[in-house]
Amino acid sequence: MNEKRGITIRNVAKGPGPLRNFMARIGAPVLVGLGFLTIWEVLVRIAEVPHYILPGPLLIIKTLITDWHTLFPSLMVTLSITLSALFVATVAGVGVAVLFAQSRMVERTLFPYTVMLQVTPIVAIAPLIIIWVKDIQLSLLICAWIVAFFPIISNTTLGLNSTNHNLLDLLQLYGASRRQIFWYVRLPSALPYFLGGLRISGGLALIGAVVAEFVAGTGGNQSGLAFRILESSYTLQIPRMFAALFLITFSGVLIYIATTLIAHFALHRWHESAVRRES
């Protein structure tokens, strides 16, 4: 009887099967998206909306395929700027956050300026950065970095300052050095906060790159997807505009998924926010 009860308990603990879990996480959103696209296509055809006003999803996919040779290089330019800005923002943000955590005086002195950097609209200062830097690619990188920088530094600083004080007192009681406390306690406790900021900064870096490209308005082989959108709007190639917009949105989704997976693999074995529990 006890053995049967143990089997029953173990079966209940397993929770829903893999198929149900897949449908809950991926299948349901995909079905909703396909339903939305189907309704969009049907309404456009029934109302006979001109393609230069609102193209249907099928026409957008067709344009994406036929213009891939032009859109793909622009996608690579935008992604290159985005990922480079995210990398620089991560390195600089973590470095500054560690500096803030070591000295409250430094944090009180410099943190307001990081807030000012965040709240200043990038559209307003992007023309100045482009004029001062002169190198277009570098200026676009700086614009995207400015947008992505603050969440990293803010979240990491919060995480470093949120370490359990009882644990810190215990380690100091046992004679742990300041370096040991930082590497073995404060840094791991700040990791979930940093990864949350990284997830936010990934999307913001893409937004900053696209906005900077809009302001720069550069063409040629080094032009990103934002310029393709401007170019398409000038020539009324609306399906091509939607195709470029789709690539930007899809890139943002992929960046979010990538940063989410990084957070999952880093935290799923020990942190409460990622430990999987079955109801």
pLDDT above 90 (res 43): yes
Condensed to tens digits (0 to 9), the pLDDT of residues 208-252 reads: 999 988 888 765 556 889 989 999 988 889 999 999 999 999 999
Entry pTM:
0.84
Q: pLDDT band at residue 24, thresholds of 50, 70 and 90? A: low
Cα 90 from Cα 152, distance rounded (Å): 6
Q: What is the pLDDT of residues 147-202, one digit of tens each?
A: 999 999 999 999 998 887 788 777 778 877 888 888 888 888 899 999 999 999 99
Lowest pLDDT segment from 67-76, 132-141, 195-204 = 132-141
Share of the chain above pLDDT 90, in %: 46
Q: For all residues of the chain together, what is the average pLDDT? A: 85
Alpha-carbon distance of 134 to 118, in angstroms, equals: 23
Q: Please compute the mean of the pLDDT values over residues 36-45 and round it to a whole number.
A: 93
Average pLDDT of the residues in 7-11 = 45
Check residue 249 and give its pLDDT: 94
pLDDT band for 272, please (50, 70, 90 cuts): low
Give the model confidence (pLDDT) of 45-68 as tens digits: 999 899 889 999 999 999 999 999
The least confident of 21-30, 143-152, 198-207, 264-273 is 21-30
In SS3 terms, the chain reads as CHHHHHHHHHHHHHCCCHHHHHHHHHHHHHHHHHHHHHHHHHHHHHHCCCCCCCCCHHHHHHHHHHCHHHHHHHHHHHHHHHHHHHHHHHHHHHHHHHHHHHCHHHHHHHHHHHHHHHHCCHHHHHHHHHHHHCCHHHHHHHHHHHHHHHHHHHHHHHHHHCCCHHHHHHHHHCCCCHHHHHHHHHHHHHHHHHHHHHHHHHHHHHHHHHHHHHHHCCCCCCCCHHHHHHHHHHCCCHHHHHHHHHHHHHHHHHHHHHHHHHHHHHHCCCCCCCCCCCC
Domain ranges of the chain: 1-48, 55-267
Q: Is the pLDDT assigned to residue 22 strictly greater than 70?
A: no
Q: Which residue has the higher pLDDT, 69 or 21?
A: 69
Give the separation between CA 97 and CA 114, rounded to whole angstroms: 11
Task: State the Cα torsion 228-233-239-240 to the nearest 10°.
Answer: -10
Region 68-76: mean pLDDT is 93
Give me the CATH code for the 55-267 domain, please: 1.10.3720.10
Q: What is the pLDDT of residue 218?
A: 65
